[in-house]
Amino acid sequence: MADKAKKPAQQKRQGQERTAGRDAKPAAADGSKARGRAPEARRRGRPDRAPKAKAEAKRGAPVRIVFLGGLGEIGRNCACIEVDGRILVLDCGIMFPDPDMPGVDLVLPDFSYLKENEDRVDGIVLTHGHEDHTGGLAFLLRDLSAPIYGSELTVGLASNRIREAGLLEKTTLVAVRDGERRRIGPCDVEFIPVTHSVPHAFALAFHTPQGVVLHSGDFKLDLQPVDGRRTDLARMGALAENPGIRLLLADSTNAEEPGFTPSESTVGETLRQLFAARAGRRVIVACFASHIHRVQQIVDAAAANGRQVAFLGRSMLNNVELSRSLGLLSIDDGVVVDVDDIGKLDGGKICVISTGSQGEPMSALSLMAVGENKRVQIEPDDVVMISAHPIPGNEWSVGRVIDQLHRRGAEVIHSGKAPVHVSGHARQGELRTLLAVTRPDAFVPVHGEYRHMVHHAQLAVSMGVPSDQVVLCEDGDVVSLDESGLRRDGSVPAGYLYVDGTVGDVGHGVLRDRRMLADEGVVMVVANVDLHSTQVVGTPRVITRGWVHETEAEDLLEEAAMVVSEALAKAMADGARDTEILSRAVRRSLGALVSERTRRRPLIIPVVLAV
Ligand SMILES: [Zn+2]
Ligand SMILES: [Zn+2]
């Protein structure tokens, strides 16, 4: 890393602060020898890549990439690719709230940058149909309109929420085919097939004046995918050869996991065995409603064991219908039975395929677990399979559902007990493979929590990407790609935009209050004062929720009223004539008492009225 000293001061500083390569020890093995050379010559394993120098000479406008979400959290993926002042939006997802966001329904990317530059947005391209990539569209489209491009299934899945928001009529959805290359706004976009936990996902190659910027989308390298549609590594390799890949942005979700993610088709085999071993008993399987290949495998395993299937849950029914109409899900009509008719059939001949694998409170499985599902009641002989892994933050909810199912006597099979689930994201072996095939000049890890991106950045350096060209970004960061390479280029607002019924009403201040209310409760005091006679009128009224239980703590509340009364009298005797100042005196005196007696710090709301 000695040659780092030759870099401009600013770049060096960035390297120390945020370029992951600093800590990525394995880099030296491959990268150090090459690093002193000119950018076009330093590519490991391909010293003969001379034509690139010519291409560079012709390059035009720089490419700016603005990260609006998904870097530092799982969810709300959104970025902008900008050339010549024109903007392409890449995905627009939601994030599900953390437990420390009470009352929040969803979290969106901060759209203020896009709103301010609305007239520059030429289109929105989607990698795949998951909600963390498409769920925000229904909100973004209220503020700007642009055509949306994605696979037929992706735009079909995305349209559900857009329709619910009443925006479908004024939205142009464009379905693109595998391998298609299209001019969209400032660049050619090539849609390259990848395997993931929803069918017809894409990596996107942006053909820009600076060369190819490749975004992996969410992906894994499944060599035996259920539909036979593999990640098109050959095409990526061809792009790497000619014209070369200037910048790779890739999915970091499983960057901490060594090895390779098993093929989706392994789950089918597990399911068949589990079904066979539980002949004669009713089986209920929960999975993601968008995981069409999983649904296919559950259907196949059930049918192979002489069972009919019934679908349960609104999104499951919607997605099954959509996928069947697109020919992505093949189910014989005779295999499907309406869930309302399963009571008439022998349990051993039935498989219910349900939503709720994440323990979502109002989902079909959660309602079954507490005996409140109108259609399916859990019986002691039932087998419930949860064919999913809880996404971070949902572990507790899923655990509770599993526990409640046990209380009802069901046997529960989840990913901790049997391999009924595999991830849709690439592990280290696959991430290394992608880096080896694409041989990018520069790399930015995306889609992950911070630690995932750090590990992915280290992986890239160890695979030979020059460490000063591996840039660890977070939400709001902007990078620029030009002839000299990739560099940071400022930042834009990218905070959380909370949705609680409406968008944007709930800010950090509101959440802080909610957390305080949840943790410590609230004490409200209403006191009347006569500012002329400087007397407290009547006894102040102390009302509380969540501090002490009022009926059990009458003495304490009376004492609190007294303390407040005394504090007000003293403040007025000292000359205070302003209700604002008197309120402060109330808060101080009551705060002291509350803390001394209960060692708590509830929210104190003084209301002093001058009569
Ligand atoms: Zn995904
Ligand atoms: Zn994702």
pLDDT digits (tens, 9 = 90+) for 482-493: 999 999 999 999
Mean pLDDT of 569-587: 93
CA angle 486, 251, 38 (to 5 degrees): 25
**Closest listed ligand to the CA of 200:** 1
Quick check: 51 pLDDT over 50? no
Q: Over 80: is that where the pLDDT of 344 sits?
A: yes
Distance, CA 486 to ligand 1 centroid (Å)?
Answer: 27
Q: State in Å: Cα 291 to ligand 1 middle.
A: 10
| Ligand 1 center–CA 201 separation, angstroms | 8
Residue (of 147, 227, 154) closest to 191 by Cα position: 154
In the predicted structure, residue 83 carries a pLDDT above the cut 70: yes
pLDDT at residue number 504: 73
Whether 133 is catalytic is: no
Paired sense of beta strands 522-530 and 535-545, if any:
antiparallel
234-239, long-range: CB < 8 A, 24+ apart = 235/179, 235/192, 236/192, 236/203, 236/205, 236/434, 236/437, 236/438, 237/437, 237/438, 239/205, 239/212, 239/214, 239/438
Distance CA 448, CA 428 (A): 14
Q: What percent of the chain has pLDDT over 90?
A: 79
**Nearest-ligand number for the alpha carbon of 92:** 2
CA of 91 to the centre of ligand 1 (A): 11
pLDDT at position 327 over 80: yes
pLDDT tens digits for 201-214?
999 999 999 999 99
Q: What's the farthest any 2 CA atoms get from each other in the chain?
A: 94
User: What confidence tens digit (pLDDT) does each residue in 442-485 have?
Assistant: 999 999 999 999 999 999 999 999 999 999 999 999 999 999 99
Question: Which member of 425, 447, 452, 456 is catalytic?
Answer: 425
Over residues 591-608, the mean pLDDT reads 92
Banded pLDDT at 45 (limits 50, 70, 90): very low
The answer to whether residues 77 and 67 touch, using CB atoms and an 8 Å cutoff, is no
pLDDT at 59: 74
Res 104: pLDDT: 86
Query: How many percent of the chain have pLDDT more than 70?
Result: 91
Q: Tell me the ligand closest to 132's alpha carbon.
A: 2
98 Cα to the center of ligand 1, angstroms: 19
Contacts of 212 (CB under 8 A, 6+ apart): 205, 206, 239, 243, 244, 245, 246, 247
Q: How far is the CA of 154 from the centre of ligand 1 (A)?
A: 11
Q: How far is the CA of 273 from the centre of ligand 1 (A)?
A: 28
**Overall average pLDDT of the 21-32 stretch:** 37
- Cα of 488 from ligand 2 centre, angstroms: 24
Average pLDDT of the segment spanning 493-511: 84
Specify the pLDDT at position 58: 58
Question: Tokens for 266?
Answer: 């392994």
Centre of ligand 1 to C-alpha 192, Å, is: 15
What's the one-letter identity of residue 45? G
Mean pLDDT calculated for residue range 154-170: 94
Q: Which of 41-55, 171-185, 542-556, 584-598 has the lowest mean pLDDT?
A: 41-55
Task: Say which of 132, 251, 300, 441 is annotated catalytic.
Answer: 251
Which ligand number lies closest to the CA of residue 447?
2
Question: 247-251, 278-282, 578-582: lowest mean pLDDT where?
Answer: 578-582
Distance 365 CA to ligand 2 centre (A): 23
Q: Label residue 34 by pLDDT band (50, 70, 90).
A: very low
130 is catalytic: no
Answer yes or no: is pLDDT of 122 > 90: yes
pLDDT over 90 at 94, yes or no: yes
**Ligand number nearest to the C-alpha of 74:** 2
Query: In angstroms, what is the span from residue 130 Cα to ligand 1's centroid?
Result: 5
Phi and psi at 226, nearest 5°, equal -60, -35
Q: Report residue 515's pLDDT band, with 50, 70 and 90 as the boundaries.
A: confident
- What ligand has the least distance to the C-alpha of 91? 2
| Residues forming beta bridges with residue 535, ordered by sequence position | 530
pLDDT at 25 over 60: no
- pLDDT mean across residues, the chain: 90
Q: How many Å lie between the centroid of ligand 2 and the Cα of residue 127?
A: 9
Give which of 574, 578, 596, 582 is closest to 540, Cα–Cα: 582
pLDDT digits (tens, 9 = 90+) for 409-421: 999 999 999 999 9
Examine the pLDDT at 43 and tell me if it is beyond 80: no
- Stretch 559-563: mean pLDDT: 94
Query: How long a stretch of residues is the chain?
Result: 611
Q: Which ligand is nearest to the CA of 197?
A: 1
Look up residue 605 and give its two tokens: 């709301």
Q: How far is the CA of 415 from the centre of ligand 1 (A)?
A: 19
Q: What is the DSSP string of 69-138?
A: ESBSBSS--EEEEEETTEEEEEEE--BPPPTTSTT--EEE---HHHHHTGGGEEEEE-S---HHHHTTHH
Give the separation between CA 202 and CA 192, rounded to whole angstroms: 5
